[in-house]
Structure 1
Amino acid sequence: MSSPTLTDKVSKMIYQDILSGEFKPCQKLVVADLKRRYDVGASPIREALVQLSWTKYVSIEPQKGCWVSPVCIDELADLYDSLRTIASVLLKKSIRLGGEEWELDVLTSYHKLSRISLNDENFDWQRWEERQHQFHIALLEGSKSPNMFGFFHDLINQIKRYRYFARNNGLDTRQLEINEYEKILDLVMAKETEQAAEYFDRHLYRSMEQIQTTIENAA
């Protein structure tokens, strides 16, 4: 069996190539081609593909091969329905249970996000995406619910593939608004639990609509 470190490295490279759009949805992933691309043996390639199938980035069919998982509006809606349900519970718990350290983490993550200028002609969307992700994580980490938070993290990772697909296929970044994140922050810091949860839910739903529109236009 190959080294776990090598398998993880290969898995990350394939993962990044899927996010970047180098590998398209439904594209077949041939082990021989991947060996040449990444200059590694067949064993870590196969193990990496199995790892990525666990997170639903790739689909494996016995005796048929492996493909990049398709994008599907029905799956997108199901992922966001699940995300919105669990995010509401976690955010309310975070507001109730989170202490000063949690509040500082939320403020810090928002500050880092707000420092990215959306009007910059060299706008770094990937940097924005990662900082937005960290802001969402910070908001919900105060819930002290590791199992539920783990489920949230799994959902976010699956949705990440859809968000990158949308960006690679014409998502209008002018739709991004830092004021939306500031409003969530203000409500959370003010302990306006119901309003914060409602506003965060609308934020997630709006994100889903933007991705859905991009998928429909790309079809």
Structure 2
Amino acid sequence: MSSPTLTDKVSKMIHQDILNGELKPGQKLVVADLKQKYNVGASPIREALVQLSWTKYVSLEPQKGCWVAPVSITELTDLYESLRFVASVLIKQAIEAGDESWELDVLTSFHKLSRIKLSKEDFDWSEWEERQHQFHISLLEGAISKNMLNFFNDLINQVKRYRYYAVVNGLDSSAYNLDEYEMIMKLVLAKDADKAAEKFDLHLHRTMEQIQEVIEAAA
């Protein structure tokens, strides 16, 4: 068995190449090709692909092979409907139970997000996506339901693949509205649970529609 450290490293490299679009949805993943690409042995490649199948970035079929997980409107809708349902519960829990440390995390994550320039010339979309991802997580981490938080984290990591797919395939910085994020933050810190949940839900739904448009255009 290969070293867990090497397997994790290979898994992260394949994961990033899927996000960046170097490995495309539906592309067959051949161990021999990946060995050459990442300059490692077959064993860590196979173990990394199994790891990525757990997070649904990779599809494995016994005796048939392995592929980058496809994208589809059906899965996108299912992911976002599930995400919106869970997020609505968690954001209200977080506002009710979150302490000062949680509030500071929300404020800090928004501040980091707001530092990204949204102009087309200077826009660093990968950094924006990572900071936005962290902002979404920080909003809900004050919630008391750890099982539901784990479910949310699983969903948002699957959604992350779709968000990156949209950017790689044409979504630009004009789709992002920093004022929307600021409003969500202010409602959360003002402890306005109903309005915060409503605004966050609208934000998630709008994002889903943007990604859907990209998928339909690429079809």
Scaled by the length of structure 1, the TM-score of the pair is 0.98
* 1:155 equivalenced with 2:138 (yes/no): no
1:83 equivalent in structure 2: 83
Distance, in Å, in 2 between the alignment partners of 1:102 and 1:66 is 40
Report deviation, 1:141: 0.4
* Cα-to-partner distance string for 1:167-187 (whole Å, 9 max, x where unaligned): 110113202110000110111
Instruction: Supply the AA of the counterpart residue of 2:147.
Output: N
Q: CA RMSD in A?
A: 0.8
> Which one-letter code corresponds to 1:157 in the other structure?
N
For 1:59, what is the secondary structure of its paired residue?
strand
Q: Which position in structure 1 is the counterpart of 2:187?
A: 187
Identical positions, percent = 72
TM-fit CA distance, 1:142: 0.4
Query: Partner of 2:65 in structure 1?
Result: 65
Matches within 5 A, 1:1-219: 1-119=1-119, 121-219=121-219
Aligned length: 219
TM-score (norm 2): 0.98
Give the Å deviation of 1:190: 1.2
Task: Give the distance between the partners of 1:104 and 1:175, measured in 2 at CA.
Answer: 27
The 4+ residue runs of structure 1 with deviation greater than 3 A are: none
Aligned counterparts of 2:56 and 2:34: Cα–Cα separation in 1: 19
Secondary structure of 1:171's aligned partner = coil
Q: Deviations over 1:18-72 (max 9, x none)?
A: 1111111110000000011111111111010000001111111111110001001
Unmatched segments (≥5 aa) in structure 1? none
Structure 2: tracts of 5 or more residues without a match: none
